[in-house]
């Protein structure tokens, strides 16, 4: 069935669902932001299977992947880390949200696992629009959207800031590499030797 503008009702429903997903993410960001200061009262450290946390996040954003026809690839990984599954899930949600926002239709998002004697790493790479060189050092600042982000009216500049803060609270870290017009890669670092949690 078509409406007067020639667009299918199904496509309008998909767009509406995308907007609801975005609103849900903004609400979630606000809730987690309000809980940063009380983090030490709201976490539980255990062995967490990385592949399951990633898959849960992908399911959450399944509609966005489908609507934008973005391919997804994840390495086989049977790896565990010591973390809080809820907070790590939030961090990964923010990474996927950003990647989907700035990756054009038909692009690709991939997830890899790497390990050396110092740390385990979870790498998220997209084929999106990338980040300007002069903006990379500021992407984890609260409210910073950069010149590319300002062209997206719905960029809040809070998602990656929160992800970074949560990662540090858990004794992890977040880093980013990018080349404008080619890719962005966000890495979650899980050090093997550390002052465990910064509560």
Closest CA to 147 of 162, 129, 159: 129
Q: Is residue 97 part of a domain?
A: yes
Task: With CA atoms as reference, report the closest residue to 45 among 163, 159, 172.
Answer: 172
Decide: helix, strand or coil at residue 185. Answer: strand
Query: How many domains is the chain built from?
Result: 1
Residue 199 domain-assigned? no
Whether 172 shows a pLDDT value over 60: the answer reads yes
Q: Is residue 197 part of a domain?
A: no
Residue 6's pLDDT is 53
Please indicate, yes or no, if residue 147 is contained in any of the structural domains: yes
User: Look-up: residue for tokens 């429903």?
Assistant: 13
Kindly report the CATH number assigned to the domain that includes residue 104. 3.30.565.10
For the chain, the average pLDDT equals 84
Whole-structure pTM value: 0.80
Whether the predicted pLDDT of 161 surpasses 70 = yes
Confidence band (pLDDT; 50, 70, 90) for 1?
A: very low
Confirm whether 129 is domain-assigned: yes
The pLDDT score that the predictor gives to residue 144 is 83
Residue with tokens 């062209």: 151
Tell me if 4 is assigned to some domain.
no
Structure confidence at residue 177 as a pLDDT band (50, 70, 90): very high
Q: Which range marks the domain in which residue 20 is found?
A: 9-191
Flag whether 2 is in a domain: no
pLDDT tens readout for residues 2-14: 455 555 766 656 6
70-96 pLDDT, tens per residue? Answer: 999 999 889 999 999 999 999 999 999
Q: What distance in Å separates the CA atoms of residue 67 and residue 60, rounded to the nearest whole number? A: 13
Structure confidence by residue, pLDDT tens digits, 129-155: 999 999 999 999 988 877 665 555 456
**How much is the average pLDDT of 164-193?**
95
* Residue 81 covered by a domain: yes
């Amino acid at each position: 069935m078509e409406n007067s503008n020639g667009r299918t009702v199904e496509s309008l429903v998909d767009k509406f669902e995308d907007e609801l997903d975005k609103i849900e993410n903004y609400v979630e960001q606000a809730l987690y932001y309000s809980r940063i200061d009380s983090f030490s009262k709201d976490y539980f450290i255990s062995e967490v299977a990385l592949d399951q946390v990633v898959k849960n996040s992908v399911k959450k954003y399944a509609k966005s992947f489908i609507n934008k026809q973005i391919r997804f690839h994840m390495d086989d990984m049977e790896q565990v880390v010591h973390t809080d599954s809820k907070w790590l899930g939030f961090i990964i949600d923010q990474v996927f949200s950003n990647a989907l926002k700035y990756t054009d239709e038909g692009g690709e998002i991939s997830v890899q696992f790497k390990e050396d004697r110092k740390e385990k790493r979870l790498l998220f790479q997209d084929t999106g629009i990338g980040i300007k060189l002069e903006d990379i050092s500021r992407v984890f600042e609260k409210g910073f959207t950069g010149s590319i982000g300002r062209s997206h009216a719905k960029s809040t500049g809070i998602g990656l800031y929160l992800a970074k803060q949560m990662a540090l609270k858990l004794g992890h870290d977040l880093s980013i590499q990018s080349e404008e017009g080619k890719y962005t890669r966000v890495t979650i670092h899980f050090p093997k030797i550390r002052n465990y949690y910064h509560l």
